[in-house]
Structure 1
Amino acid sequence: MIVTLTPNPSLDRAITIPELRRGEVIRASSSRVDPGGKGVNVARALAAQGTDTVAVLPSGGPEGHMMEELLAEAGVRAVTTPVQGSLRMNISVLEPDGTTTKLNEPGPTLTDETVSALLAATLEAARGGGWVVGCGSLPPGAPIDLYATLTSAAREAGLSVAIDSSGEPMTHAAAALPNLIKPNHEELEELVGRRLDTVGDVRDAACGLVDRGIETVAVSLGGDGALLVTADTVVHAGAAITTPRSTVGAGDCMLAGLLNGLSRGDAPADALSAAVTWGAAAVTLPGSRVPGPADLAGIFAHVDPSPDLSRSLRR
């Protein structure tokens, strides 16, 4: 079982346009709405591949009703906690070359009672064992150490914990030593407090976190693939995509693929290969749509257990 907690879920409206021109009226060629928020995306990707998952999230207002309906249609089991106000609506503007511009609302304010209810619901849903995954930004009212609290409580309950966040929430969570973290390049730089210009720099930063007690550090590097580091493994994987459509949710799909493999007992290199395949497949799809089994066909992840550490990373 993989249970995701998304404190700040959203409805994601993706609008495709010929070109973004500031200050002009632009006619969209298409539009779609998907359930969003990092943990919600992870659960959607897992459900699309037939993996047992539960999404825990706050819900309120018309957007909350739509969120619950869309999750049900996607086959995602959701456990919701009522919240005052409405869930946020995020807008992604997509251009033909794959360029994505995102406008994210802040989300409704959470009370202490709502936060406690969300944490309790997450632990209850995962009581049978497996992974607990805390993902995304924190909405107004949420304590900055929410993911650290989740990590400590879940590990005390004998669960494995993965965290994918940024800024202070990630810093606090990392100090609580989750089993796995999945920062992107910029988030890892923020976490360790220095620039990471090469694959070797990323490797060294991840190894430092592993030495502190985090078992697995998986770093998404955008077009440069992904690097996974454990105490005895350093492996890189990448997949070439010639026709990108949207990067929204690709990192979330990568995390879903990684957890899917690890939960089955796959070796880290095999789990990373699946992760990169899932993430690359997401890039070929419109909006924040997640890949199903058919979408993975034809995508090949190249796995390198001895990556070139001097390779410069794109920004």
Structure 2
Amino acid sequence: MIVTLTPNPSIDRAITIEALHRGEVHRATGSRIDPGGKGVNVSRALAAQGADTVAVLPAGGPEGHLMEELLDAAGVARRSVPVSGSLRMNVSVLEPDGTTTKLNEPGPTLAESEVDALLHETLEAARTATWVVGCGSLPPGVPSGLYAQLVTRGRELGVKVAVDSSGSPMTTAVDARPSLVKPNHEELAELVGRDLPTLGDVVAAARDLVEGGIEVVAVSLGGDGAVLVTADELVHARATITAPLSTVGAGDCMLAGLLHGLSSGMTPADALATAVTWGAAAVTLPGSRVPTPDDLHGIPVEVTRTPDPHLVLGH
């Protein structure tokens, strides 16, 4: 089982328009609401594929009630921690060419007792888990060391901990040496403090983290796929999507596929191929919808252990 902790979940409203023009009135051609937040998306993707998962999250206000209803409807097992504030609502504006403009609210301020309850519920769920993953930004009131604390406490329970975040929460988590981190290209550059224009630069930065004590570093690279680095492995995988609809949650679906593959005993190469398939499938779906098994068919994935280090990323 895979347990996810999402300290700052959201209701995700995706609105589709023909083209975004600042300051003008737009007529939407479609819209949808999904439960969101990185860890919530990971659990949604796992549940959609029939994998065992539990989502731990705060729930407060009308948006909190809606979140619980949406998760229940999606068949996602959850442990909700009541909080006094209302969950945030994030808005994504989607254009036909796949361009996504996001407006993210900060989230409710959590009291110290609410933060403690979140960590407690996560660790209780982790007692029967193979992986625990701390995901996303932290709302106001949550100390930046939350994920680092999760890593330390998870290690005491004998469970592997993964972290997907950015900024100070990610930096402090890395110092605690989680089993796996999943930054994107920009987050990895921020983490190591230097620009990473080529695939070779990304691999070198990932190897620095592995040498620092992290077992698996998986970096999502958008249209350039993803790369996975361990002490013994270097794997690059990429899928080509010709008709993207939305990139919202694609990296979370990739992480879900990776953790599912690793927990199922796949080799790192096969787990990364699964991850890229799940992430690419998410890009073909509207809003932050997660792929079902039927959505995974027909997505070709190229996998290599000898990637071109001179590949310039983002071109």
Q: TM-score, normalised by structure 2?
A: 0.99
Structure 2 distance, partners of 1:302, 1:70, is 35
1:45 counterpart SS class: helix
> 1:34: which partner in 2?
34
Is 1:16 the counterpart of 2:28 in the alignment? no
Identity percentage of aligned residues: 72
Correspondences of 1:87-166 after superposition (within 5 Å): 87-166=87-166
Structure 1 distance, partners of 2:139, 2:233, is 35
**Residue ranges of structure 2 left out of the alignment (5+ in a row):** none
Structure 1 distance, partners of 2:239, 2:125, is 34
Offset of residue 129 of structure 1:
3.3
Offset of residue 126 of structure 1:
1.4
User: Which structure 1 residue ranges, 4+ long, deviate > 3 Å from structure 2?
Assistant: none
> 1:245: which partner in 2?
245
1:3 counterpart SS class: strand
> 1:167: which partner in 2?
167
Offset of residue 156 of structure 1:
1.1
> 2:285: which partner in 1?
285
Give the AA of the match of 2:233: T
Asked if the contact 1:17–1:29 (Cα under 8 Å) also holds between the matched residues in 2, the reply is yes
How many pairs does the alignment contain?
315
Correspondences of 1:192-231 after superposition (within 5 Å): 192-231=192-231
> 2:75: which partner in 1?
75
2:285 counterpart SS class: coil
Structure 1 distance, partners of 2:116, 2:64, is 19
Offset of residue 85 of structure 1:
1.7
Is 1:7 the counterpart of 2:7 in the alignment? yes
Asked if the contact 1:246–1:286 (Cα under 8 Å) also holds between the matched residues in 2, the reply is yes
Q: TM-score, normalised by structure 1?
A: 0.99
1:138 counterpart SS class: coil
Structure 1 distance, partners of 2:146, 2:81, is 16
Asked if the contact 1:17–1:28 (Cα under 8 Å) also holds between the matched residues in 2, the reply is yes
Give the AA of the match of 2:307: P
Asked if the contact 1:11–1:33 (Cα under 8 Å) also holds between the matched residues in 2, the reply is yes
1:31 counterpart SS class: strand
TM-align CA RMSD: 0.6
1:170 counterpart SS class: helix
> 1:235: which partner in 2?
235
Give the AA of the match of 2:244: P
Give the AA of the match of 2:48: A
> 1:274: which partner in 2?
274
> 2:176: which partner in 1?
176
